[in-house]
Structure 1
Amino acid sequence: MPYGDPASHSPKQSLHAPTRQSEATRGSHDWSLSLGSLPRAAADLILLGDLTGRYASGSYARLATGGRTVVPRPDRQGASEHGHRVTAAIACYVARAHGTVDQLLRLLLQPDHEGGRHAQTVLVRSGHARARAYVQRVWETACALVGSTTSVESRNHVHEALAALRARIEATPWPGERGRTALRVLLAHLSFAEVAGGRRHAASERQTAEAAGLSRQTVRSAYDNVLKPGGWLQRLKVGRGAEGSVWYLGDGLNAQPVLVASRDQTTQRPPDRALEEWSSPETATTADIDSTVLARLMPLDAFAQQGLGSSALLILSALHANPQQDASDLIATTAISRATAYRTLRRLKSLGLVNAAGSLWALVPRALEGVGNSLAEAVTQPATPTLGWERVAALCGTAGVGVRRKAAHAAERAAYRAALEHLAARPSKAAVVVQDGRLVVVPPVRGDEIPPSWHAPGGAVIDPSTGLPVPGWRVATDGRLIHISPDDDRSYDELTTAHQQAVLAWESIA
């Protein structure tokens, strides 16, 4: 169950300083019981402090104003930042153990506990009121963080959580072509998470595109427009070098219905309110598909964008989960429009994958052999389907799409690795700042930064050959060049959006 149960430890609890009577009657045995209920790492952190320097990273150095060099922080400021991180870590440990804010305060203010040295310093310098207010703020942040996470007790618990997430994905409607594409990308990440043994997993865009049977541009659009805003995926770390990006699967708590922009010129007659037309949405609010079958079919060439597409994937997976459905049922279980459902059913029937008995549709007996089978008495074994998906891809004109995609990705990987090896062969010298006996590395000047001798007052750029400012060019705050075109009439917000899109494209290429 998720941590942060309001009944067990609420951030709204009041802080009260221990009375003198309780201080006198409290013994060491009481403190040992409190520490014994915490993990060993938490007890060591409280009693001994941060001996390994785990929470000291970034506390004693920061980037300069220009963002180009690392400057050391003052000793007092660095120690304060380090102590705050230790205090926050202890608060998270207490929150995960279903403790209270009063217990946290007593643990931090115990004189023998090195982990509470920062809170004790605040108490001595600013008094009880400031110390209580500081611990209260840390506690609220810790409860919010712990309450948004889930405890993992065993590997079986992980598989149960992923199975529950798969069931939630299957019951969520994914309307529109954008939603169906996002479903394929999400199922690819779900398969990666199952292999990794948890929601945290590593995957590159190329790997995801090959698993989902989509292009990298389509995968990137699904990330930005549906999965990230909806809370289904979160990128924890951008991939660099030979390492892919690190992702975390969410529960989609922020998921909103995917809205499809209507055309300006439409051929449909608008609804008549007097006749109560179009009184309800065309698709239902719940879906019912077999995501396992969908995940196994989506990398095939037959379901590429110019082939059967994502709508056929949803219909096949819905008919595999619940055979004998009419068109209205399929519209409800797949969340696709009526026109798309009828068009896709006719195409699947022409290929011999589905048949109709009156108004009911069902899969042919051996349509999904080797992937899944809707017959109860059938035993699913890895085998070649009767029709053959290669033949379906050839009839749809999409044969060889997956092979060409993998070849293009392999060429991109080879070019990127060659560029990395070229850069590694020409290392740049980095300056080193010594602070409190530790070495802090200062990043060297990058190749796209201009030398300081080119800088001019007002942000202008000096031509080294003439010594005169170059019109149309400026120096950004990060030391890079900016070219301002006379025809460029974009606003600052538009330029910021364009810059973010360029950074995102560069990170995805890397």
Structure 2
Amino acid sequence: MTALLIDGDTDDTYASWSRQRGGKDSVAADHAWTVTRAIAAAAARADWSRADFLQVMLDGPYKAGAHARMIAHRRGHERAVEWLSRAWEGAAKHVAATDTIASRADFHASLAELRAQVERTPWTGIAGKTDMKNLVARLGICEEAGGWDHTVSERDLAERMGCARETAHKSNARVVELGFLRQLDHGSFTDGARWMLLKPVPNSSSQRWATTQGPKAGGA
């Protein structure tokens, strides 16, 4: 997060992850919003105040604040503060509702919680069952890796899932869309791609992500 704040999203990790904003803004604006939300969440976890966040983004020389400073220059300081405040409020609420992972024991407890939720969710159809196998395989990989960040090639993932490589590839795209997974890089000829397994947040996940009461449209 420090590197993201100072240097910006140099690897375009957040380029395709603007789920919160909506509207008809440009791809660049959506990208800036997603990066700003990520910085806001990190700041909230680090016990910054809203004023701290605004000051760093507007007054600092950091690349992650470039879009906010552009808004201030073109549309006025108040509009920039309003834009940043919306990012801060949403991120702060998310952080407050998210369990803190401070140790390996916390991680394994969170992993078990996600595994139980995945296994009791009514995944429908062949695609749904394939996506469940994808997630179960990744849960095993994450358990071995000791964190949500993991590396796996499509070939190795397909072997764990018991399916063809193309099937695993299509499933990855669906699982990313569902909000369970983020691709961090594309790997190389010798190394698999890096991924991060996610716990979907309310109002941005699929109808297939269900509570014990059964699937509910538009919610977790």
1:185 to 130, 134, 145: 134
Q: Which residue of the partner structure matches residue 86 of structure 2?
A: 140
Structure of higher CA gyration radius? 1
2:120 to 167, 171, 174: 171
AA at the equivalent of 1:140: R
- Measured after TM superposition, the shift of residue 199 of structure 1 is 1.5
- C-alpha change, 1:188 and 1:179, in structure 2 (3 Å) is same
Q: Which has the higher helix share?
A: 2
Q: Which residue of the partner structure matches residue 153 of structure 1?
A: 102
Report the RMSD for the aligned CA atoms in angstroms: 3.9
- C-alpha change, 1:53 and 1:202, in structure 2 (3 Å) is closer
AA at the equivalent of 1:183: M
- C-alpha change, 1:190 and 1:116, in structure 2 (3 Å) is same
Aligned equivalents of 1:240, 1:212: Cα separation in 2: 22
Cα distance per residue 1:90-126 (max 9 Å; x no partner): 7555422444434545x559xxxxx93459xx7xx97
- C-alpha change, 1:93 and 1:180, in structure 2 (3 Å) is closer
Aligned equivalents of 2:140, 2:9: Cα separation in 1: 35
Cα distance per residue 1:46-67 (max 9 Å; x no partner): xxxxxx99724689xxxxxxxx
Q: Which residue of the partner structure matches residue 189 of structure 2?
A: 241
Aligned residue-pair number = 172
Q: Which residue of the partner structure matches residue 229 of structure 1?
A: 177
Aligned equivalents of 2:53, 2:167: Cα separation in 1: 48
- Measured after TM superposition, the shift of residue 255 of structure 1 is 2.4
1:202 to 124, 140, 151: 151
1:251 to 191, 199, 213: 199
- C-alpha change, 1:219 and 1:103, in structure 2 (3 Å) is closer
Cα distance per residue 1:461-501 (max 9 Å; x no partner): xxxxxxxxxxxxxxxxxxxxxxxxxxxxxxxxxxxxxxxxx
Unaligned 5+ runs, structure 1: 1-40, 43-51, 60-86, 110-114, 259-283, 287-510
- Measured after TM superposition, the shift of residue 131 of structure 1 is 3.1
SS of structure 1 residue aligned to 2:129: helix
Q: Which residue of the partner structure matches residue 130 of structure 1?
A: 76
SS of structure 2 residue aligned to 1:157: helix
Aligned equivalents of 2:38, 2:128: Cα separation in 1: 39
Aligned equivalents of 2:168, 2:142: Cα separation in 1: 17
- C-alpha change, 1:174 and 1:54, in structure 2 (3 Å) is closer
Aligned equivalents of 1:55, 1:108: Cα separation in 2: 10
- C-alpha change, 1:214 and 1:148, in structure 2 (3 Å) is farther
Aligned equivalents of 1:53, 1:214: Cα separation in 2: 37
2:151 matches 1:216: no
Q: Which residue of the partner structure matches residue 6 of structure 2?
A: 55
Q: Which residue of the partner structure matches residue 116 of structure 1?
A: 59
Q: Which has the higher strand share?
A: 1
Q: Which residue of the partner structure matches residue 50 of structure 2?
A: 101
- C-alpha change, 1:243 and 1:104, in structure 2 (3 Å) is same
AA at the equivalent of 2:160: A
Cα distance per residue 1:399-433 (max 9 Å; x no partner): xxxxxxxxxxxxxxxxxxxxxxxxxxxxxxxxxxx
Does the CA contact (< 8 Å) of 2:50 and 2:88 recur in 1? Answer: no
- C-alpha change, 1:191 and 1:141, in structure 2 (3 Å) is same
AA at the equivalent of 1:157: D
Identity of matched residues, %: 28
Does the CA contact (< 8 Å) of 2:40 and 2:92 recur in 1? Answer: no
SS of structure 2 residue aligned to 1:55: helix
Does the CA contact (< 8 Å) of 1:95 and 1:143 recur in 2? Answer: no
Cα distance per residue 1:272-310 (max 9 Å; x no partner): xxxxxxxxxxxx948xxxxxxxxxxxxxxxxxxxxxxxx
Aligned equivalents of 2:197, 2:37: Cα separation in 1: 25
Does the CA contact (< 8 Å) of 2:101 and 2:107 recur in 1? Answer: yes
Please give the residue correspondences for 1:272-311 in structure 2 after superposition, counting only pairs within 5 Å.
Answer: 285=214
Does the CA contact (< 8 Å) of 1:92 and 1:143 recur in 2? Answer: no
Cα distance per residue 1:181-230 (max 9 Å; x no partner): 22212111110111111212111101111112111122123223x42222
Unaligned 5+ runs, structure 2: 11-35, 216-220
- C-alpha change, 1:206 and 1:132, in structure 2 (3 Å) is same
AA at the equivalent of 1:230: L
SS of structure 1 residue aligned to 2:195: strand
AA at the equivalent of 1:134: A
Aligned equivalents of 1:145, 1:240: Cα separation in 2: 33
Aligned equivalents of 1:58, 1:175: Cα separation in 2: 36
